Amino acid sequence: MRLHNLKPRPGAKHRRKRLGQGESSGHGKTSGRGGKGQSARSGSSTRPGFEGGQMPLIRRLPKRGFNNTRFHIDRIPVNLASLESFDNGARVDVAALCAAGLANGRSDGIKILGTGKLTKKLTVVAHAFSASARKAIEALGGACEVIIPKSAKA
């Protein structure tokens, strides 16, 4: 077998459907859009779940039960291995993590996780710590400072 003998498997490649190329092509006249109506018009498209003006299924179903999304706290995870980039004895706070590109985006805070190995003594300031991360930081003589949210202070 040589490179010039290679071919795609039968059925893997097929011609593009050519619309509006005369009635004998099978895709002429209405070009596969059927007769009149909303979907036959140019530029028309309907959103997912649209049922032609009928009350959509998602609105017909009863809404029951509790949904925790409203109360969910979304924290950006930062691993211990990522903190290795800071100097020994440094104070690592939210601003320092953002400047290093480790905690970007919108969230309710930062949580330090215990994944990876830390070899430096650091003072880490964050909104939450996992038990293994706190243990690893304090074992090296570092400190963990928890930021208390404004709503919890009052």
Q: Give every strand in the sheet of 128-129, ordered side by side.
A: 76-79, 110-113, 128-129
pTM above 0.75, yes or no: no
What residue spans define the domains of the chain? 73-153
The CATH number that domain 73-153 falls under is: 3.100.10.10
CB atoms within 10 A of CB 4: 6
Mean pLDDT of 29-57: 90
Give CA separation, 41 vs 55, 103, 127, in Å.
Answer: 23, 47, 54
Digit-coded pLDDT (tens) for 90-146? 999 999 999 999 999 889 999 999 999 999 999 999 999 999 999 999 999 999 999
Q: What is the pLDDT of residue 145?
A: 95
